[in-house]
Amino acid sequence: MRPFVVQNLGKYERQHWQKAEFGDEAALQTRAYRKFILDLYHGELVEGYAWLHGRKGGRMVHVGSVDSPVAVGDVRNIALEFRRAVGAGADAPTLAGVDVLGWDFALDMNETAGQIAQEAGLQVRFLRIPREVLEPKAVDQGDIQFFELAALSVGMSITRRELSIELSDFMIPPDDVPDDVMKAVRHWSDWIDYWAVDWNYRDDTFHNEWQSYRTRKDRTLLLRANHRYAEPGEYVVLVKVIDILGNDSTKTLKVTVA
């Protein structure tokens, strides 16, 4: 299979949906959109902050925009505003925790942004806004679930120009998993339906240059992949995992080839 590029049309679909649902006036549109997402998350809207948009169970909530992924810089701004907001009024935080809701997330969000939050003394959870919020029937039926990002561990070794990477662990937060699915999982790898590798990721589009996936007839999954680099240099390897719930997780590795 040759490398291919996946073009993400979701952003444009969401932009159209936001305009159709909440109108053209920017400020009113943004407020209505955030309230809509918070209602589905069973949270409440708060006012007066730029990065803290709601509250649920004592934790503050940030609602990511429809047209850009939640980035590490966003988490830095959330942590700074949270620190200023403590003890500042009726809508001030009561617990040192923030739930960050997003349609998409920057690479390695759990690790990189998690370190920023930890340094600020803040416990942050990252949860994906599901596409089902765009479907009126699903909203009316209450079939909306916000899944927390999974944690992916990848080991690597390199000999000369030969790189070997291996999935070593993958964890989905148990609160997000239906009971029947949980009972069927015997090993952490059972959570994974498919994974792929871009051996020379250049901070642009993911190129699928190697993959392993399960089929109905063959449920085995390779956990190790190898690649030989033609030239020495500094490379970034991007690993992407699709789990059995349909969510994707990524991991970047920096590689020095002599």
Pick the most confident of 12-16, 51-55, 71-75, 81-85: 51-55
212 three-state secondary structure: strand
74 plus 177 within the same structural domain: no
pLDDT of residue 113: 77
Q: What are phi and psi of 118, to 5 degrees?
A: -65, -40
Local confidence band at 89 (pLDDT 50, 70, 90 cut-offs) = low
- Mean pLDDT, rounded, for 90-109: 83
CATH code for the domain of 158: 2.60.40.10
Question: Per-residue pLDDT tens for 171-223?
Answer: 887 666 777 878 888 899 999 999 999 999 987 788 999 999 999 888 899 99
Give the total number of structural domains in the chain.
2
19 plus 96 within the same structural domain: yes
pLDDT of residue 138: 86
The β-bridge relationship of strands 97-102 and 59-63 is parallel
pLDDT of residue 3: 47
28 plus 134 within the same structural domain: yes
137 plus 171 within the same structural domain: no
CATH code for the domain of 63: 3.40.91
136 plus 161 within the same structural domain: no
Of residues 87 and 21, more confidently modeled: 21
Is 62 among the domain residues? yes
Is 78 among the domain residues? yes
CA 153 from centroid of its chain's CA atoms = 15
92 plus 178 within the same structural domain: no
Q: Which of 148, 167, 183 is the last residue of a domain?
A: 148
Is 105 among the domain residues? yes
Of residues 14 and 63, more confidently modeled: 63
110 plus 128 within the same structural domain: yes
Local confidence band at 168 (pLDDT 50, 70, 90 cut-offs) = very high
Is 139 exposed, middle or buried (CB count within 10 Å of its CB: 0-12, 13-18, 19+)?
middle
Question: Per-residue pLDDT tens for 51-63?
Answer: 999 999 889 999 9
Q: Is the pLDDT of residue 241 over 80?
A: yes
Q: What is the spatial distance between Cα 155 and Cα 146, in angstroms, rounded to a whole number?
A: 29
109 plus 219 within the same structural domain: no
244 three-state secondary structure: coil
173 plus 97 within the same structural domain: no
- Residue ranges making up the domain that contains 53: 10-148
Q: Work out whether the CA dihedral 127, 68, 196, 231 comes out positive or negative.
A: negative
116 plus 36 within the same structural domain: yes
Q: Is the pLDDT of residue 7 over 50?
A: no
Q: Which of 128, 148, 168 is the last residue of a domain?
A: 148
Q: What is the spatial distance between Cα 44 and Cα 63, in angstroms, rounded to a whole number?
A: 12
102 plus 172 within the same structural domain: no
Is 2 among the domain residues? no
Tokens of 142: 């209450």
Local confidence band at 144 (pLDDT 50, 70, 90 cut-offs) = confident
